[in-house]
Every structure is written in structure tokens, then in C-alpha cells.
Chain A
Amino acid sequence: MELKKLKCRWRITLLLSFGFFLTATGLQAQNETTQQETINLTGNIKDNLGTNLEGVTVRDITSGKTVISDADGNYKIEASKGDSLIASYIGYQDYRWQFSDRIIVNIVLEPISGGLNDVAVVGYGRQKKISLVGAQATVKVEELKQPVANLNTMLAGRISGLVGVQRSGLPGSNSADIWIRGISTFGSSGSGPLVIIDGVQGRNTNDLDPEDVEDFTILKDATATAVYGALGANGVIIINTKRGSASKVNLMANYLEGVTAFTKVPEMADAETYMNLRNEAMVASGFTPAYSQDYIDSTLDPNANHYVYPNVDWMKTLFNNLSHNRRFNFSARGGSDNVQFYTSLAYYEESSLLKTDGLQNYDAGTKYQRYNFVSNVDMKWTKTTKFSLGINGYISQLNEPGSGATSAFSNAMSVSPVRYPVMYPGNLVSGIAEGSTPSPNPWADITQTGYKEAFQSKIATTAQVKQDFDFITKGLSANVLYSFDTYSNNNQYRKRQRSVYYLNQSDPYNDDGSLNLEQVISGVDVLSYDKDYSQDRQFSLQGQVNWARNFGDHHVQAMVVYSQLSQPNPTADSYQDAIPTRQQNYAARATYSYLDKYFAEFDAGYTGSQVFSPENRYGFFPSLGVGWVLSNEKWWKPLSNVFNFFKIRYSNGFSGAIGGSRFDYITTITDGAKGTNFGRVGSSVNYSGINILHYGANVKWAKSHDQDVGLEFNVLNNKLTFIVDWFQKYRTGIFLTRANFPAFAGLQYQPDGNYGTTINRGFDATVELLPIPLTDKLSISFRGTFTYNKDKLLENSAAPYEEPYMDPRGQKILTNYGYIAEGLFQSEADIANHADQSGVGGIPRVGDIMYKDLNGDGLINVYDKTYIGHGDVAPLTFGLATNIQYGNWYVSAFFEGVQGADRELTGNARSPFSGSDDNNIFANAVDRWTEDNHATNPFYPRLAYGTVPNANNNVTSTWWIKDISFIRFKTLNIGYNLPNKIFKNTGFKNATIYFDAVNLCYWSPFKLWDPEMNTGNGNTYPNTRNMAIGFKVNFD
């Protein structure tokens, strides 16, 4: 640990030196003056989009002199040295400075956050928020600082239109699935958004430390995404890292230390429940019971020999109640007019809740550590030339048990409490062998199998030159961006399979009283060595020309951009894979606005991808949007007291999605097919077969036709803002395997093509209350988001169905297909009177699930299945964040909710005793139908043992579709800003002590496990609850 800290310090020093070096070289001598009398101060005023601002009031506060900037944003004012000046403009923050040496002061006015002149991130650029005609939403990451290693997990509910689910809490892999406006596609095509980080695609949100992110934007409709052409149909996420500012250097340090715990540990049956229920299930299925009463008594007797009568609580054995995490951030931000920089270093570590075996001389603990760094430098080479260099990256290290930490949880849940003891005396691994494979011993898997170390590193660099060409024509500029990213992952395995023993059940003791253990697997105690590695690289090049100009009240802006991306795979195993994955994109945008009242925008992308066949290589995706700010009309005046701002907008356009894999258009054959052997013992030949690997298909992009109507209005003196969007996405040509090719055609694989169609409609809304002072000390703000979508599959190339209710067309994309449960058979008469259920796969017994005979033919079979449930991605997501500031204290809380998602239970959550006998069961298996208790709506129907006795109940049906809606108290932050007087003369600017908590608790009708987990039987590493105390200081 000491060493780690030293490493930390070394890194900070290095980064700082780097930053200061750039600062020093970039600083240029300022124009100086020694005159005391009034002199002419001049300069240019721009907004932060680089547009010259006309009409800005520049006032010398000392002398009271006032001037207004001209059409080119230039001003000239007489002032004396030492005067205080202020530049102010409606919608922008005042810019104050004191006249000391400089006589040319160029000013960039920052818009008021949340105000009308605020700047919004759009594809390949920025725009004034008021001029947006597409659907877009931004979140400032200041709100998101949480003690977790990645950003994605924190976003659901924060931004309207974004749907996210956190799937696992395992350190190093606790990321979330994210969708924009739900899911509009199916089959093998990805449904996730395109992510653009610092202008470059192919980068991963998880690679960034949340502290380094400036803003996070999602583009939701075609007008916003058309410029990304065939890549934009699933929406786009744009993330920008922090950059420097022309100000004094601000240093920030932040440290937090936290604890983690599972949000919910599935409750598994104890030994008594397990044995009794298993006996019950076996008897009910015509088997003799597995455990005699003597055996049960001995198992439950605390004084019995539990090597012979095992009784293990695997969950308790494997997992600690608490673990910890830790984060340290340091950043420096500042600069001059000519050079600005942001540099940062972050360290994050998190341990899992897995226990380790103190007897082993290696460390199999699961621990994740990561160092992130960022260096963003912007410098002016000339008055009109700006150069930016951004470097960010990380190194991380994950240590985990040899068998992997992911399986630990499923193992702990799957092995019954009475199957074998944790270990046999002498630290011998207990277990049972199925052939040459031992059944998992959960404890041995995490403690006896050695360990794995995974090292990852990533560096992303972006260099950009921007040149103003005002001297050619006003408002013209161009920039070129080049980026190079590299990632490597290196795993080292020190693994072993130890010998496994099992007690001779008929003769447990040797003559000397020791255990009569049978070696079922012969293994070794020595750790082996193995490794694997992977690498990624990508190169991206982008050239852009922008032109913006005012003609009186008309504002025109145009942009064309070319970008290309090449992703070689240096560690590919085949030449085909080694060919770099490439794409090209041409995009253009033209916007027009009149008096900030009427807006029109045309966007288009023209994308080429080598996934497509040569004749379909390029796709064109145009889009048009219009906006109207009614509140800027004269006749709105009477309404403006209520609606301070009112805008409507509409967009209509196309974007695309790439499906399928590379070279799909080529028919390929493999010479590694199954083939056959000929010959006989002593002289034989093996022929690996030659076979079709893939039937070439004339594939192209899927096309999404998006429409969006947006309404934005502000009330209460612009303090309360509303943004509401209705949308429709109609996607055609979704890449699919052709589903209606009968098997008798003898195809090796079904051919692919663009066959799918979906429609997705919905609306999303944001309500934001900007901070309102209630008393002079107390202020409150909140932000609510709401996202609803309803998707529908329209075409999937499937053959017609016998019954309309069997057809997935017209159903939700993620819905399940199964029977409708009508209750349980309570008597033999019920079975006799009901439709014949043997077609389900089992012989129905009393206490089994009764299914609805949808086609009324007296038989329950495949023709009685229909679409049930919505799937596990919620149609409705909402979030509510509130901030309360009281003096130096602040409290912010965030609640996230989802409604309408459901999940099909599978495995032992559905059929406690089907299939493998070693599976443990959930503790709630006691809530079942029994002979003595003819419950009508228990959790489980009558228990059964084995595949076929369970077959009637162990099928997809509404019985097993469980509502996984939830409301989660996602975050709570309480902080105290230490009073400034404390640090007078210490160099500190301010300091905050805070308490952060994530995933505090949730409310859900679903009780078995954390409803966000992507599992039908609970056997993945659960989400964690994090609580941390931290300290953050800023100093100049």
C-alpha cells in the first residue's frame, strides 16, 4: 500500500510538471503599458461558440463610462489603470475584470447555465440551445460524482430519454446497459447507442473517471443523429472531458473512503427446508425419498459429524457482509488566454465481498484498482489558430480467484446445503465428479483454484488544429482532428485443479474412525501458468469546415465534415479478422434562424461501411427540423408573464444502423467442418469436412425514420422549465436471419438479410426547478425526468402462424412467448375437466399449473402459446433529483424508478428440483402447493423432482413472469462546505466534507433478488450498496 501511494505521488508530480511546462512555454508576453492616464482599451467579445456578440454593454464601473460592442463584437472604451470594468449581456454571465496592464482584452461570455443562450452539444459541434430543433438532453456531470468506478451506472433516470439497467456489482465489471428511447431493434443488431468521446467514436464510457467528464449529452432523434449516418439510429451519446480555462490555476483534491455491501442477497433454503422439500418433491414424483428421518435429524443435530452429515450455508461461507472502496482525485485546471489546460489523476479501488482462504500462500481476493489520467491542453498558435491536444487513459488491475469471481455467486446458489461439507479435514476439497468434471465446490472454487490477474491499459489521444479563415470570408473556419487510441488487456492465470474427495456413503468411516474418503478427481496442488492477451487500436481522422454568419437578422450556419475510422485487430487469429474494420462518414449541416424566432435545420450523413456489400456500401440519411420560439413574437407579450419562454419544434429524418458482421456479403466455406473418420483401428483417416460457413447476402443498413415533436416552456420567471418530446421511430431493414427457410432445405445456416421492421413510440419529459431561495440561507432545486416508450415488432420474416396470437408481429420486442396460467389444478376432477395438457411436456398432476386453451381444441400444446410480459427493459423510467442548500450544508437525493418491466424466472427459481440434483432452492420454495394446503396462488405449484415430472410447470408461462418494477433510492449526498474563514491565508479556496451513498434501498414487488440483475434465477453477482465519506478541497 505504501508503494502504491508513492506511485500515486510520482504520477501527480509528473502530470503537474507536464501541465506547468505547457503553461510556461505557452505564456506570451502581454502588451504592457506604463501610462497612468486614460487610454483606449479595445477587444472583441464572443460567446463560447465563437460568435461575435453585438450589443454587449461594456461599462467602466469606476468612471461610469459605457460603450456597446459593434456588429463584429468589437468594443473600444477609455479607462484608467486600476479601473474595474464589466461586460454584460442578457442571457450571459457578467464578465468582470480590472484594468491593469493589458489594453487588448478579448472576452468570451459564458451563458447563464440553463438559460436561453446556453450552449448545447450537437453532433460535430455546439449550438445555442435556443436554436435546437432536434431532441437532445444534457447532464452536467457535477451532479454525478459518486463512489463507483463508472459513469453508465449513474445515468438512468437522470436524463429523459435514457433507459439504463445496472446488471452486476462485481468490481471492474459493474457497468450498465444503456438505451436511448428504449429498444427499437432485435435480432443480432446492437441496440445500444453510438458513443462519441471528445469527438471520437469507438471509445468507452467506462474508460473515464466521472470526475473528468464535463458534460454528457444524448441525441435522441434523427435531426440530432442524422450527421452520424448509418451509425446513429440507436441514438448518440456525446461525452466531453473537462478542458482548461483562462483563469488562475485551480487545484482540486478529493478523497473518499467507502464501504460496499450487496443490495440484496438471495435467500436460499437451509438444510432442513431443502431436505424436507426434496423428499416431498420426490415422493410426489413417484420416487423414494432421498433423506431418511434419521439422516435429517443427524444433519440438523449440531453435535453430529458434519463431514458425514453436511450442513452448509454457502452464502455465509463465501461472502463477507462488507467490503470497501476508495477513490482519490487530483486535478489542475487553469491557463491564460493563449494556453489552457486541464490535467487530472484519479485512483480508484474496490474489493469484492468474496472471502479468501488464509491458508493459501497466494492472494485470490477479488480486487480492482484503476489509475486514470487526463491531460487536455488548448493553445493558440496564432491569433486565428488553435491547437488542442487531449490525452487520457488508464491502467487497471483486477485480481480474482482462478475460477473467476463471476461464477462464485452462481456456485454458492447452486449447491445444496447438504451435498458436501465446505472441505474435508486436512484441507481436502470435497465434491462429486460427473465423469472427469467435478461439480462445483463454491468455497474451493474461490479459494483453492489459484488466481487470475488482469491488467488493462488504455490511452486515447486526440489532436486537433482549428484555423479561422476569416481572411478568406467572414465566419469561415476549418479544423482537422486526428486520434489514436490503444488498448491492451493481459491476463495471467495461476490456476490449479486440486484433488477432489467424496465420502463413501455406504461406509463412511475407516476402521480407525477416520473418514473413508474416495478420491473422485485426481488433481495437483501446484499452480500452473497461463496467459492470454488482446489488443485494440484505432485511428480516426476528421476534417471539418464551418461557416457561420449573420446577415442582419438572419443567421446562417453551415458545416461539412468528413471522418474515417480504422480499427485494426493486432491479435487476430485469422487474416479476415486482422483486416481493419473501417468506416467513412460524410456529414453536412445547414441551419438558418431569424431573430431567434424561427429556426430551420437540415442535416445529412452519408456513411460507408465495409460491412455492407459493395453495391450497398454507402447510405444517405437526410433530416429536416424546424423550430419556432413563440415567446419571442410580439403578440406573445400578454402571455409572457406566465410563459416566460415557449418553443415548439418538429423534426423528421432518417438515421441508420449497421447490423450483421463483416463480409456478410461473401459466401464463405470452412475447411474445419465436422467431417468424418474413415478406416478402422490401426489404419484410419480423419477428414475434417468442407462446408458452407456463411451464405453471402446482399446486406445493407437498417433505416430508422424518426419524427419528434418537442415543446419547451419556462414559467415562474424562468425558474421552472419543461421540455416534453413525443417521438416515433419506424425502423426498416433490420438485419436478421431469414426465419422462414424450412429446415428440410438442408441449409447449414439460415441466410441473413434486412428483414425486420419495428416501430417505437413514446414521449419523454424533463421538469427542472432552478435553485429557488426560500430563506436567505435555504434554497431548493429539483429535476425530474420521465421516459416512456412503447416498441412493437412489425416484421421479422417469420412464416405465418397458425393462430394470430402466436405471431410476434405486433408484440413488444422483448416480450416472452409462453402459456397463460389459469391457476393450479386443485383436484383430479379439475384435470379431467380441463383441456389435455400432456402436449406441454409433462403429465399434469393435482397442484400443477393449469394453462389456458387459447384455440379451444381441448389440447394444450404449442398452439396455445402467446406473448406474455413486456420484457426486462422497462417502458417507463423516471427520476427525481432534489438539492437542498442550507447555509454551508447541502443535501441532494436522487430517486430512480422503473415501471412495466418484467422478467421470466428460470432454472431453480422456477423449478426447484428439475434437472441437476445438486441445485439449491430458494428459501421461498416453502410457499408452494401441497397435499395439505391447496393454496390457490402460492409462489410455486406442487414441487416435483426431475425433468419430466417438472415438465408441466417448467415452461414459460404467465405464472413465472414477475413484475420487476422498482423505485430505488439511488443516491444521497450530504455535504458541508467548510466556512471560508477557516482557511484564510492557507491557500485553500474552499473545502467540503461529504457523505455519499449509492443504492441505499429500493422498493419492488419482486423479492427474490435485486430486480435490476439480468438473470432469471438470481445467480449473478448482485448490485452493491456503497456508502462513503470524502473530503474535497480546492486551492489556488
Chain B
Amino acid sequence: MKIKILLISFIVLVGASVMSSCNKFLDQVPDITLSDDSIFANLTNTKRYLAQVYANIPDPYANRGGWGSDDASYSQLADESNYFAEHDFSISAFSYNTLSASFGAFEYIWGEFYKPVRTATDFINKIDGANAREVDAYHKAHFKAEARAMRAIFYYWLIRLYGPVPIINQPLPISASNEELALARTPFDTCVNYIVTQLDSAYNELKAISTSSQPTNMPLDEEYGRVTTGICKAYKAQVLLLAASPLFNGNTMYKSVANKDGTKLFPQAYDQNKWKLAADAAKDFIDEFVPGTYDLFTVSDSDPYMAAYKACRDVISTDWNNEWIFAKSMSGSIGTYTYNAIPKFVGYGSSVTKGGGYLAVNQSMVDAFYMKNGLAITDPNSGYKKSGFSEFQSPFDIKQRTTFNQWVDREPRFYADVTYSNSYWLNQGSSSDEVIVDFTYHGSCGKIQSDHDYSSTGYLIRKNITKGNDSRGWCHLRLAKIYLDYAEALNEYDPGNPDILKYLNLIRKRAGIPQYGSGANDIAAPTTQTAMRTAIHHERQVEFAFEQVRYFDLRRWLDAATELNKPVYGMDIDADGDDFYKQKVIQNISFTQRCYLWAIPSADIRKDDNLVQNPGW
């Protein structure tokens, strides 16, 4: 018995002592988790870290009428298109101007643009120390220039939305105190200078390593989407045009906006030289890169009208054609965009691709397209008929079709950009019946078919819709924009300069409509600076329809409060037959002075005592 007790006691005591010796028990650390030292140890990881700088480039294909992934619905904020049929899309709050400073989009975009800024700065700080055996000097210089240029471009996108923003030179440490985090906004001109300087530096860094075998005006390793010398210069022209525009050039609306230390955030005196800087930057770009690197996209066809139609249709959907300067490469989200824009098509077989069909075009956009003869529909000589029907064959149709007169004999860009009722659909599948778009109330794509899969106006966006749904890039900047930027800036400081007409006409020529001038088929050129300005603005509206340009143009020109306060018109989608073709007000929208700049997210205003809010928020 005693032995048994001793034995068990021994076991118990040994058991207890074994346990207390487990002092390594808690020292387990995962050894395969990447640490930040490993980033610059090899070329692959370096490239992947740099890829994260590019990651937040907006992808408008992902657009679903709100902000939450990486989409940007700027086209629906302007007078081009809308999501009114989708009652649950929060984007309408912009149109109704019922936003608060804590609106999700304000916070989302703010954060998503500042994240790559931080990553880029960190990248620039560390790339020189990258493992030289893996990352050679050429790559180091190239990557550094890329990070620098992208950081500048994100800043450009930030100031375009929010006005002056804090320029942050070094990543704020995780342990930063509240005082260290209390940054103030950087005055607008300083922001612009910073962006320009950074783009210049990036350009120079690229230029310095450019060789004939490895040119830096073309993407490295055929990786389209990477920063090139052209991209640096093109965005320099963008930011200078923004700085020259009425919104930021002598706009007294913001005269009282100042940091807490009294620093004025907006330049108060109008400076005409800013237009010159913008024009020079655009011209500089053109001189260096056109036509060697970039040129206007054209398609040859025996019928000049068809050639223009195809060129205007395909310039945006032909991936990285030589007109493209900068794009979100190979977006995987194209299906979202096309679903929004392809009509519902109830009643056609499964071979016909069907969509939600609610990405509607506003009547004002439809009306902006010129007539085939190059005249605006408001011109008494344009031949525009407001009512009635004609037998008309559109460039995409196989035969003549009864067409509402408003949509007859318009310029090629109209047919490339807009889907209208009773038109031939581009993708017929193997349907035995002709697939015809019908937006009338009881039509195949009409309102009765669904709760929200219909067009609020009786039009849908057609631009950038193709038969297939394969991934391709979304073009953020193309040469045509540089041309019209140049024309616009030149007209502001040197009206009458022949380059104005030259570049404006290059766009019209490609669009297949008569040019301004004194030739036989020409339209009389605008004679005054104001008339020329109107012509340029109008041309921009049409050429860049649905390309996320108009919203920023209207703001730059201080025209938004006028244009975006008009009711949105459309066809009467609650009607059948001829009644459908009676225009009616679809929605009243509102744009007030405060809308010219987005609100700095209220969360950041609260966290940072030195951060002042934009007026009206």
C-alpha cells in the first residue's frame, strides 16, 4: 500500500514539474509570413509592391451606381447619363444634392486615393536599396519614376475632386501622435506645383534611362498601363489645365477658405498665364509624341461616313490603340458595365445576351450630338426635325427602319454612343426574329418587364459596348483630349491662334462631320473668343460622352450650377406607341455652389484639427 502511494505521488509530482518547465510553450511564431524586408529582396516582389500603387486606379467598368469597390460613376454625376431606374443606387443622392459630408463616396475615394500615395512614397524611399542582383539600375530608375508619377496622378485626381489637399511627403508613422497627424491642407497652387514637379522628375528619370532598345515612351516589356514619358507629360497638361480653369483660377467663391493659421488655400487673382502653361504643356506633349508614339485612331472604309462611325465606335473599345495614353489595363469588370447598358430583351431566345438595361442616357446628351451636316440641332439650318418618323437606315443597321425624326441623320458619334428605341441591336445572337430594342412601356425592354431593369429615359449608353465581353482596358486619357485641351487653353490666352482651329478640326474630321473654316464643305468658323469657347466646349461634350470628362469640365468651367440644375428629360417610358415619343421630365436634379468641390470626409475633419472643410459642407 505504501509503495502504491509513493508511486502515485511520484507520478503526480513529476507531472507537476514537467508542466512548469514548459517555458517555451508560448514562443511560437509563424516563420513563413512575409515581412516587409522581403519586398525588395527580389524583382518579383518589387514589381508586386509597385503593382499595389497602380491597384486603385479607378475602374469605371465596375461602376454599379455607387462607390464601394473601385468604380467611379462620374458620368452619371453629369448631364450625360443616369441610374434613375435603379431606385436603390445611392449615386442619385448626387443628382438630388442631398449629400452630407459623411457620404460614403467622399470617404471611400479619399481613402482609396491616399493609400497608393503612401505606398508610392514608401516605395520611392526604399527602391534604391533593393537587391541589386535582382533589380538592376534600369529597373530601379524606371520603377521609381513610375511610383513618383502615379503618386502625382493620384494627387491630381484628389485635387480635381476635393480642391487643395494635404501633400504628405513621408509616410506618417503608425505610432504618430495626434499632433503629428494634424496636417493642414496644402494651398492649391502648391499642390499643383508639387504635382507638376513630380511629373517632371518622373519624366526626367525615365528620359535619362531611355535607350533605343528600351525606350521609355512605350511601356516596359509591353506592359501597357505602366507609366511612360508620355503619361508624365500628358498628366502634366491635365493638372495645368485644371489649375488654369475658372474653378481654381481667380474664383472668388473660395476667397475666405483658409487654414487655421490663415494661409489662403485658393489663388484669388486670375492669372492668364496659367492658360499659357497649360497650352504649352499640351503642345509640348504633341510635339514630342505625335505622331511617333500617339496618333488619332482611324478606320478606313470606302464610305467616309462609315469610316467615321467605325473610328468613333472603336476608338474606345480597341484596346490600347495608338490614341490611348493612359488606361486601367485589362479590367475584369467589363461584364458589369455591359450588363448595365445592354437592354432587357424579354422574349428573345437564350442566344441573345440580355442585360439590366438601366444605364440611361439623358435627353440633353442626345440633343448635344451634331447633325450629319456638322450643325447643332439648335441651328435653324441643321435640318433637325423634332417630330414625326422617317424610314432611315442607321450605320449599324442592315436595312431601313421607321425611326423617330430626332434620331435621323445625326452625326456618326450619335450612332456609336446611344441606343434608342426601335433600333437594330448590335448582337443578334441566333435569334430568328430580328432583335430590336423597344423601350416603349409594353416593349421587350419596356418598363413593364421589370421593377428596375429599364431605361429611365428611353435611351441607353452604347459607347464601349461590343459583341463580346472580354476583358479590356478602360481608357482614362486619349490623344483627342490633349488636342481639345490644347485648343481650349490656347483660346483663353491667345484667341485667334490658328492651332485652335487646327486641333478642333482634327477631331471633327475624324468624327466625319464638316470642319470649321472657309472651305467648300466647311462650316463658318466661330469668330469671337466666346463663340470659339462654346464650340470647343460643345465638341468636348460630344467627343468624350460617357468618358468621365464632362462632370469635371462642367465644374472647371463653373457651368455645372447651370447645366446640372436643369430637369432631366427623356422619352415617356410609361407610354406605348406614338405617346412614347413625347419628351417629359424624368427627374429634377440640383447642383449648388458647394457641389463644385466634394466634401473632405467629415471623419477626417474631426480627427484633424488643422483640416478645414470645403465651403457648404
A642 beta carbon closer than 8 Å to chain B: no
From A594-602, A742-750, A934-942, give the one contacting chain B: A742-750
Closest chain-B Cβ to A736's Cβ sits at a distance in Å of 14
Closest chain-A Cβ to B594's Cβ sits at a distance in Å of 11
Query: Is there contact, CB below 8 Å, between B26 and A689?
Result: no
Interface residues of B in 1-60 (CB under 8 A from A): 1, 4-5, 8-9, 11-13, 15-16, 19-20, 22, 25-36, 38-39, 45, 47-52, 54-57
Query: Is there contact, CB below 8 Å, between A384 and B5?
Result: yes
- Minimal Cβ-Cβ distance residue in A for B575: A288
Interface residues of A in 834-888 (CB under 8 A from B): 838-843, 861-862
Closest chain-B Cβ to A919's Cβ sits at a distance in Å of 10
Query: Is there contact, CB below 8 Å, between A478 and B49?
Result: no
A862-B617 Cα distance, complex, nearest whole Å: 10
Query: Is there contact, CB below 8 Å, between A506 and B449?
Result: yes
Report which of A465, A469, A748 forms a contact with B11, defined as CB distance below 8 A: A465
Q: Which residues of B contact A382 (CB under 8 A)?
A: 1, 4-5, 8
B522 beta carbon closer than 8 Å to chain A: no
Closest chain-B Cβ to A617's Cβ sits at a distance in Å of 6
A519-B33 Cα distance, complex, nearest whole Å: 49
A744-B166 contact, Cβ under 8 Å, with A564-B19, A676-B57, A680-B472: yes
Q: Which residues of B contact A609 (CB under 8 A)?
A: 26
From A407-415, A663-671, A760-768, give the one contacting chain B: A663-671
Q: Which residues of A contact B51 (CB under 8 A)?
A: 675-676, 687-690
A823 beta carbon closer than 8 Å to chain B: no
Q: Which residues of B contact A583 (CB under 8 A)?
A: 26
Report which of B50, B93, B176, B446 forms a contact with A948, defined as CB distance below 8 A: B93
Instruction: Produce 1/0 per residue, A554-585, CB < 8 A to B.
Output: 00000000101010000000011001101110
Q: Which residues of A contact B290 (CB under 8 A)?
A: none
Query: Is there contact, CB below 8 Å, between A679 and B11?
Result: no
Query: Is there contact, CB below 8 Å, between B25 and A584?
Result: yes
A579-B30 contact, Cβ under 8 Å, with A564-B25, A689-B51, A742-B611: yes
Closest chain-A Cβ to B285's Cβ sits at a distance in Å of 22
A688-B48 contact, Cβ under 8 Å, with A381-B4, A584-B26: yes
- Minimal Cβ-Cβ distance residue in A for B225: A678
Report which of A610, A678, A741, A746 forms a contact with B224, defined as CB distance below 8 A: A678
Closest chain-B Cβ to A432's Cβ sits at a distance in Å of 7
A815-B473 Cα distance, complex, nearest whole Å: 47
Q: Which residues of A contact B47 (CB under 8 A)?
A: 687
A146-B350 Cα distance, complex, nearest whole Å: 56
- Minimal Cβ-Cβ distance residue in A for B223: A678
- Minimal Cβ-Cβ distance residue in B for A580: B28
B174 beta carbon closer than 8 Å to chain A: yes
Q: Which residues of B contact A290 (CB under 8 A)?
A: 451
Instruction: Produce 1/0 per residue, A593-626, CB < 8 A to B.
Output: 0000000000000001110001001000000000
- Minimal Cβ-Cβ distance residue in A for B57: A676
Query: Is there contact, CB below 8 Å, between A843 and B16?
Result: no
Query: Is there contact, CB below 8 Å, between B30 and A689?
Result: no
From A111-119, A394-402, A794-802, give the one contacting chain B: A794-802
B527 beta carbon closer than 8 Å to chain A: no
Closest chain-B Cβ to A941's Cβ sits at a distance in Å of 16
- Minimal Cβ-Cβ distance residue in A for B348: A518
A614-B99 Cα distance, complex, nearest whole Å: 47
Closest chain-A Cβ to B190's Cβ sits at a distance in Å of 16
Q: Which residues of B contact A435 (CB under 8 A)?
A: 339, 356
B133 beta carbon closer than 8 Å to chain A: no
Closest chain-B Cβ to A429's Cβ sits at a distance in Å of 16
Closest chain-A Cβ to B94's Cβ sits at a distance in Å of 10
Q: Which residues of B contact A505 (CB under 8 A)?
A: 346, 442, 448-450
A842-B93 Cα distance, complex, nearest whole Å: 8
A479 beta carbon closer than 8 Å to chain B: yes
B395 beta carbon closer than 8 Å to chain A: no
B426 beta carbon closer than 8 Å to chain A: no
Report which of A471, A562, A675, A838 forms a contact with B16, defined as CB distance below 8 A: A562
A669-B48 contact, Cβ under 8 Å, with A579-B30, A676-B54: no
A745-B11 contact, Cβ under 8 Å, with A467-B5, A480-B16, A506-B448: no
Query: Is there contact, CB below 8 Å, between B29 and A663?
Result: yes
Query: Is there contact, CB below 8 Å, between A838 and B98?
Result: yes
Q: How many of B's residues come within 8 Å of A, CB to CB?
A: 113
Query: Is there contact, CB below 8 Å, between A946 and B329?
Result: no
Closest chain-B Cβ to A100's Cβ sits at a distance in Å of 25
A383-B332 Cα distance, complex, nearest whole Å: 76
A617-B26 Cα distance, complex, nearest whole Å: 9
- Minimal Cβ-Cβ distance residue in B for A288: B574
A541-B15 Cα distance, complex, nearest whole Å: 9
A985 beta carbon closer than 8 Å to chain B: no
Q: Which residues of B contact A504 (CB under 8 A)?
A: 346-347, 449
A215 beta carbon closer than 8 Å to chain B: no
Q: Which residues of B contact A948 (CB under 8 A)?
A: 87, 90, 92-93, 96, 98
Q: Which of A669, A740, A916 has the most CB of B within 10 A?
A: A669
A127 beta carbon closer than 8 Å to chain B: no
A826-B36 Cα distance, complex, nearest whole Å: 61
A746-B30 contact, Cβ under 8 Å, with A673-B52, A680-B473, A947-B92: no
Closest chain-B Cβ to A11's Cβ sits at a distance in Å of 33
- Minimal Cβ-Cβ distance residue in B for A519: B350
Query: Is there contact, CB below 8 Å, between B165 and A678?
Result: no
Report which of A519, A690, A917 forms a contact with B34, defined as CB distance below 8 A: A690
Query: Is there contact, CB below 8 Å, between B100 and A690?
Result: no
Interface residues of B in 576-612 (CB under 8 A from A): 587, 601-604, 606-609, 611
Q: Which residues of A contact B607 (CB under 8 A)?
A: 739-742, 799
A689-B107 Cα distance, complex, nearest whole Å: 23
Query: Is there contact, CB below 8 Å, between A681 and B470?
Result: yes
Query: Is there contact, CB below 8 Å, between A670 and B26?
Result: no
Query: Is there contact, CB below 8 Å, between A841 and B8?
Result: no
From B115-123, B264-272, B429-437, B511-519, give the one contacting chain A: B115-123
- Minimal Cβ-Cβ distance residue in A for B178: A740
Query: Is there contact, CB below 8 Å, between A579 and B28?
Result: yes
A680-B472 Cα distance, complex, nearest whole Å: 7
A532 beta carbon closer than 8 Å to chain B: no
Query: Is there contact, CB below 8 Å, between B28 and A947?
Result: no
Query: Is there contact, CB below 8 Å, between B574 and A689?
Result: no
A548 beta carbon closer than 8 Å to chain B: no
Query: Is there contact, CB below 8 Å, between B48 and A479?
Result: no
Query: Is there contact, CB below 8 Å, between B98 and A842?
Result: yes
Q: Which residues of A contact B446 (CB under 8 A)?
A: 506
A675-B55 contact, Cβ under 8 Å, with A666-B33, A680-B319: yes
- Minimal Cβ-Cβ distance residue in B for A502: B346
A461-B45 Cα distance, complex, nearest whole Å: 48
A681-B472 Cα distance, complex, nearest whole Å: 6
Q: Which residues of A contact B55 (CB under 8 A)?
A: 673-676, 689
Closest chain-B Cβ to A956's Cβ sits at a distance in Å of 13
Q: Which residues of A contact B442 (CB under 8 A)?
A: 505-506
A841-B93 contact, Cβ under 8 Å, with A609-B26, A667-B36, A668-B33: yes
Q: Which residues of A contact B90 (CB under 8 A)?
A: 947-948
Q: Which residues of B contact A506 (CB under 8 A)?
A: 346-347, 442-444, 446, 448-449
Q: Which residues of B contact A608 (CB under 8 A)?
A: 25-26
Query: Is there contact, CB below 8 Å, between A745 and B451?
Result: no
A514 beta carbon closer than 8 Å to chain B: no
Q: Which 10 A-B pairs have the closest CB atoms?
A: A746-B118, A946-B87, A689-B52, A687-B51, A917-B451, A678-B223, A677-B330, A543-B16, A799-B607, A915-B88
Can you offer 23 A-B residue contacts whose CB atoms are under 8 A?
Answer: A432-B451, A505-B450, A506-B446, A562-B19, A582-B26, A584-B25, A610-B28, A663-B33, A667-B35, A669-B38, A676-B57, A677-B332, A680-B329, A684-B224, A684-B329, A687-B47, A744-B183, A744-B604, A744-B608, A745-B171, A745-B181, A798-B606, A840-B100
- Known contacts A385-B5, A609-B26, A748-B115; can you find 16 more A-B pairs with CB under 8 A? A286-B587, A290-B451, A479-B12, A579-B28, A608-B26, A663-B30, A669-B34, A675-B54, A680-B320, A680-B330, A690-B34, A742-B608, A802-B606, A841-B100, A862-B602, A915-B88
